[in-house]
């Protein structure tokens, strides 16, 4: 009976329709290996129809400019108090050194996020501090795409300086930010947020800030932190909120979300209470893959690009996710601190050739892209076609 129902849902999705929240929940509740494989193959077929077979990657560098943070998210092993062992705060010269190195290694994007450091406004406003970084990078490398500052950082600047979200986002855009990471979404459910990130912006505020960014023409990514204490109902609610927001953006002619990235929880070095409650240190790959497939089926008509996290799943896990609905392997990153400090075993940097080899191992073509999924055909990195 359940098989028939799942078959009907999958047929409906393959006919091009959006599935409902109840249908998405039912898909996530499946345990039978044959049914799960049918979900996987539906997601893979939808990926093929919606975005094709080529797998993309971006050459980027992560710069987490400080880990000093006023908040205490219960999954975070990255944050430090000022003066605590391991606390750091990069100055502009250090940021520019990392950026120069990234450009020399072919990066087209700098992805920048950091802790919420109240001392950011010591020499002016908080906004001044953020703009100083952006303008420093853009003056030196105007062609670089700056993918920077989450909705939580936008709210932090707005609160510190008494500005509206629109004022902050417009100023960041004017300063040179080209797109916004859709991080800090975690799970868009306030019951969950009260446990895992009680000081963070609530679900409605995250959606509001992202909506303002879209309306101002600033594209964003979308993410979900999965595999901790959330239920299938809460996972699907999260997808549903993303889908509605993207429908609004599209109706108004904006790019909106450029991609969806699933971020499975790594708890090895996370603060003990949540780690104990979740009861394991590394993500369960099978759970992440089923959720990856359901994300494609639920969101794919509206958000066509789906990316796994090789930092969280390891490269082998992320490569497997390319057969569960994903079409992008992500970025080279060059350095990664937030998840690595949480105990992730995926590494902190990927060579382009390593990403290309992983994609080729599936018999799929690869293609370098920019941050907003434009193709980059350059030098020896041109698209590689399988005969
Ligand atoms: S997740 Fe971000 S906001 Fe939360 S404690 Fe860590 S650095 Fe701070």
**38 CA to centre of ligand 1 in angstroms:** 38
Work out how many domains the chain is built from and give that number.
1
Tell me the average pLDDT of the chain.
Answer: 94
Residue 380 has pLDDT above 70, yes or no: no
User: What pLDDT shows up at residue 270?
Assistant: 83
**What's the whole-number mean pLDDT along residues 271-298?**
93
CA–CA separation, 120 vs 201, rounded Å? 19
- 248 in contact with ligand 1, CB cutoff 6 A: no
Over residues 195-204, mean pLDDT: 97
Cα 51 to middle of ligand 1, angstroms: 33
Range 254-287 burial, b when 16+ CB lie within 10 A, else e: bbbbbbbbbbbbbbebbbeebbeebeebbbebee
Q: Please list, in sequence order, all residues whose beta carbon lies within 8 angstroms of the beta carbon of residue 354, skipping any fewer than 6 positions away.
A: 315
Which pTM does this prediction carry?
0.95
Give mean pLDDT, residues 109-128: 95
pLDDT above 50 (res 383): no
Q: Is residue 387 in a domain? A: no
* Residue 4 pLDDT grade (very low, low, confident, very high; cuts 50, 70, 90): low
How confident is residue 361, by pLDDT bands cut at 50, 70 and 90?
very high
Kindly state the average pLDDT of the residues 212-229.
Answer: 97
* pLDDT at 296 (0 to 100): 98
Q: Is 116 a pocket residue for ligand 1 (Cβ < 6 Å)? A: yes
8 is a domain residue = yes
Closest CA to 357 of 324, 325, 322, 333: 322
Question: 345 falls in which pLDDT band (50, 70, 90)?
Answer: confident
Element (H, E) at 258: strand 257-264
Euclidean distance between CA atoms 279 and 191, whole angstroms:
20
Q: How confident is the model at residue 280 (pLDDT cuts 50, 70, 90)?
A: confident
3-state secondary structure of 80: strand
Number of residues that make up the chain: 387
Q: Quick one: pLDDT at residue 382? A: 43
Q: What is the pLDDT of residues 9-21, one digit of tens each?
A: 999 999 999 999 9
73: CA distance to ligand 1 center in Å? 6
78 lines ligand 1 (CB under 6 A): yes
Residue 386 domain-assigned (yes or no)? no
pLDDT tens figures, 85-118? 999 999 999 999 999 999 999 999 999 999 999 9
Confidence bin at 272 (pLDDT 50/70/90): confident
- 217: containing domain: 2-381
Ligand 1 center to 187 CA (angstroms): 14
CATH of the domain at 228: 3.20.20.70
CB atoms within 10 A of CB 128: 14
Specify the pLDDT at position 263: 97
Using a 6 Å cutoff on CB, does residue 129 contact ligand 1? no
How much is the pLDDT for 338?
80
Six-digit token pair at 70?
Answer: 């006023």
Q: In percent, how much of the chain has pLDDT > 70?
A: 96
Q: What is the largest CA-CA distance in the chain?
A: 66
More confident residue, 202 or 386: 202
Tell me, using a 6 A CB cutoff, whether residue 79 lines ligand 1: yes
Residue 186 belongs to some domain of the structure: yes
Asked whether residue 316 is domain-assigned, the answer is: yes
Is 230 domain-assigned? yes
Q: For residue 307, what is the DSSP state? A: E
pLDDT at 385: 38
The structure tokens listed for 180 are 């916004």
Q: Which residue has the tokens 């600033």?
A: 218
SS (H, E, C) 93-112: HHHHHHHHHHHHCCCCEEEE
- Whether residue 287 lies inside any domain: the answer is yes
C-alpha to C-alpha distance for 254 and 215, rounded to whole angstroms: 7
Q: Is residue 205 part of a domain?
A: yes
Q: What is the mean pLDDT of residues 168-190?
A: 98
């Amino acid at each position: 009976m359940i098989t028939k129902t799942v078959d009907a849902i999958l047929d409906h999705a393959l006919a091009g329709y959006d599935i409902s929240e109840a249908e998405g929940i039912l898909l996530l509740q499946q345990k039978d290996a044959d049914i799960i494989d049918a979900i996987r193959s539906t997601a893979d077929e939808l990926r093929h129809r919606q975005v094709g077979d080529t797998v993309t990657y971006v050459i980027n560098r992560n710069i987490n400019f400080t880990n000093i943070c006023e908040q205490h998210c219960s999954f975070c092993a990255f944050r430090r108090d000022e003066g605590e062992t391991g606390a750091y705060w990069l100055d502009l010269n250090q940021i520019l050194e990392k950026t120069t190195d990234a450009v020399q290694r072919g990066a087209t994007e700098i992805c920048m996020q950091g802790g919420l450091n109240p001392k950011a406004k010591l020499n002016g406003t908080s906004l001044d501090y953020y703009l100083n970084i952006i303008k420093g990078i853009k003056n030196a490398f105007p062609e670089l795409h700056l993918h920077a500052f989450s909705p939580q950082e936008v709210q932090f600047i707005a609160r510190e300086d008494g500005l509206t979200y629109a004022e902050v986002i417009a100023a960041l855009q004017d300063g040179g930010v080209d797109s916004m990471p859709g991080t800090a979404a975690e799970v868009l459910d306030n019951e969950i947020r009260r446990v895992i990130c009680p000081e963070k912006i609530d679900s409605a505020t995250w959606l509001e800030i992202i909506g303002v960014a879209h309306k101002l023409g600033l594209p964003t990514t979308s993410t979900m932190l999965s595999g901790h204490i959330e239920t299938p109902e809460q996972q699907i609610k999260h997808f549903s909120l993303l889908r509605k927001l993207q429908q609004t953006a599209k109706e108004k002619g904006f790019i909106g979300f450029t991609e969806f990235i699933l971020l499975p929880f790594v708890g090895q070095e996370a603060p003990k209470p949540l780690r104990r409650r979740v009861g394991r240190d590394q993500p369960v790959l099978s759970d992440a893959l089923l959720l990856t497939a359901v994300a494609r089926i639920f969101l794919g008509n509206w958000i066509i690009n789906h990316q796994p996290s090789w930092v969280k799943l390891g490269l082998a896990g992320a490569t497997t996710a390319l057969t569960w609905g994903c079409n992008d392997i992500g970025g080279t990153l060059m350095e990664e601190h937030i998840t690595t400090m949480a105990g992730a075993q995926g590494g902190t940097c990927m060579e382009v050739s390593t990403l290309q080899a992983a994609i080729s191992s599936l018999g799929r073509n690869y293609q370098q892209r920019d941050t907003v999924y434009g193709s980059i055909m350059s030098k020896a990195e041109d698209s590689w076609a399988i005969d």
